[in-house]
Amino acid sequence: MLIQHLRENPEIPYEQLAAKMGKSRVTVSRKISELKKAGKIKYIDTLLFQR
């Protein structure tokens, strides 16, 4: 679900992601960090993209 939201809007702020997902900003930030470490997503400039 998180990756789907990022696909739809790669520039979405963490606060908006959290609101859409019913999670806290801290949880969203942690999940994005986990996805980056796992190589599932990466930053290109200031945008997040799925690999």
Second CATH level (architecture) for the domain 2-50 = Orthogonal Bundle (1.10)
Across the strands, what pairs with 41? 50
What is the pTM assigned to this prediction?
Answer: 0.77
Query: Buried b vs exposed e over 9-45: b needs ≥16 C-beta within 10 Å?
Result: eeeeeeeebbeeeebeeeebeebbeebeeeeebeeee
| Identity of residue 45 | D
Pick 5 or 10 by higher pLDDT.
Answer: 5
* CA separation for the pair 47, 2 (Å, rounded): 14
At 15-50, the pLDDT tens digits run 999 999 999 999 999 999 999 899 988 877 655 555
Domain coordinates in residue numbering, the chain: 2-50
Best CA proximity match to 49, nearest among 15, 11, 13: 11
